[in-house]
Amino acid sequence: DGRVVLLSRAVHELVGDTDKVFGHRMGDYDHGFRARRAGAPAFVAPSPVGVCAQAPDTPGSREPGIGVREAL
26, burial (CB in 10 Å: exposed 0-12, middle 13-18, buried 19+): buried
Domain span at residue 30? 9-71
Residue 65 domain-assigned (yes or no): yes
Residue 69: predicted pLDDT: 66
Q: What is the pLDDT of residue 38?
A: 94
* AA identity, residue 31: H
Q: Is residue 4 part of a domain?
A: no
- State the average pLDDT for the chain: 78
Split into its structural domains, the chain has a count of 1
pLDDT greater than 80 at residue 29: yes
* pTM of model > 0.75: no
HEC-encoded secondary structure of the chain? CCCCCCCCHHHHHHHCCCCHHHCCCCHHHHHHHHHHHCCCCCCCCCCCCCCCCCCCCCCCCCCCCCCHHHHC
Residue 37 lies in a domain: yes
**Residue-wise pLDDT tens digits, 41-52:** 988 888 878 777
CA-based end-to-end distance of the chain: 14
Q: Is position 3 within any domain?
A: no
